[in-house]
Amino acid sequence: MLRYTKFNAGNIATCGEHVEHLGFLYRMWNVRKYTSPQIESKDLRLTLIHSKGGTHYIDQQQHNMTGYQIHLTFPKQSSYFYFLEETSAYQIRISWQNFEKLCHTLSINIKLFKDYPILQISPAKFETLRHEFNKIRIELCHFQPPLSLIATRIETILHEIKHFITRQIDNLAAYTYPPMLSRFLELIEQHYKQQHQVSYYASALNVTSNYLSKLTRRHMQVKPLKLIHDRLLKEAQHLLCSNSNPIKSTIIELGFADFSTFSHFFKQRTNISPSAYQMQSTYHQK
């Protein structure tokens, strides 16, 4: 769904785009002297801003908008923008579930983002991110958006944000995973195609499955099996898009017993069958 609006009234000027598909949303404003509606977000919202003056209220806390910034708004937070001077704003909305999955895949501590929701960035980095935001807008305008490509672009955005934040922090210890958890993530990367069970990784780390579960839930708010499955799913999506004989070779490469098991695994997490996903990907590559 794409909407484009523009109106002028005295010293008020607003124009913008709104693109929404399959739970993702792209929104753009070019505004001055305008107050956006207050919303309570159920998802994560990334807002890229170039402003000559204004305020973003998050849970009634005032954040000044000036220069080049990126703002993060989390689920259950209420927020609205007061654009006082000329401002360009670009916003991406993604579900909290997808955000968590991407953070786990990228080994990013979510607390890092929560503690630094407003970031001042350089004009060059603003343009880099704006390019990614615009590419997501283009993908969402397709009848069947290539979700794996959109996820890859959001990964790039999250990586950039992480780099902005880490350069501002003197002590990263509070945001660093314990050595055993880091080792678990490394083991997943090395063995996820052959080893799908938590018990294998717990044994390799010389701990119980219950201890490993407590570790991941404490530091990542997720069970260890989900981390393994998320990595499997990401690779499955990649292989389905790229192999000459995708489904059969994907089943073999990822260590699934048969088509039925793989199809159930894939559809349960994407709400689409592997064959339908393959056809969708082929369509977008033409």
Query: Phi then psi for 194, rounded to 5 degrees?
Result: -105, -30
pLDDT digits (tens, 9 = 90+) for 119-152: 999 999 999 999 999 999 888 888 777 778 888 8
- pLDDT value of position 30: 87
Across 53-62, 108-117, 161-170, which has the greatest mean pLDDT?
A: 53-62
pLDDT band at 283 (very low <50, low <70, confident <90, very high): low
- CA angle 205-209-215, nearest 5°? 75
- pLDDT value of position 21: 75
Burial tier of 71 (Cβ tally within 10 Å: 0-12, 13-18, 19+): buried
Per-residue pLDDT averaged across 256-263, rounded?
A: 94
Rounded to two decimals, the pTM is 0.67
Q: Around 236, how many Cα atoms within 13 Å sit in the side-chain half-sphere?
A: 29
Tell me if 106 sits within 8 A of 88, measured CB to CB. Answer: no
Per-residue pLDDT averaged across 25-44, rounded?
A: 86
With a cut of 90, say whether residue 57 has pLDDT above it.
yes
Tell me if 145 sits within 8 A of 280, measured CB to CB. Answer: no
pLDDT digits (tens, 9 = 90+) for 200-252: 999 999 999 999 999 999 888 889 999 999 999 988 988 888 766 778 899 99
- pLDDT value of position 244: 65
Tell me if 73 sits within 8 A of 61, measured CB to CB. Answer: no
**Which token pair is 125?**
């980095």
Q: Around 246, how many Cα atoms within 13 Å sit in the side-chain half-sphere?
A: 19
Give Cα 39 distance to the centre of its chain. Answer: 20
Closest C-alpha to 87, from 59, 63, 54, 112: 54
113-130 burial string, b = 16+ CB within 10 Å, else e? beebbebebeeebbeebb
Per-residue pLDDT averaged across 38-43, rounded?
A: 85
Q: Identify the weakest region by mean pLDDT among 57-61, 82-86, 175-179, 246-250.
A: 175-179
Query: Phi then psi for 131, rounded to 5 degrees?
Result: -60, -45
Average pLDDT, the chain: 85
Per-residue pLDDT averaged across 17-21, rounded?
A: 78
pLDDT digits (tens, 9 = 90+) for 77-124: 889 999 988 999 999 999 888 888 788 777 778 888 888 899 999 999
**What is the spatial distance between Cα 186 and Cα 170, in angstroms, rounded to a whole number?**
26
- pLDDT value of position 103: 82
With a cut of 80, say whether residue 3 has pLDDT above it.
no
**What is the spatial distance between Cα 156 and Cα 164, in angstroms, rounded to a whole number?**
13
Neighbours of 257 (CB within 10 A): 8
- pLDDT value of position 158: 92
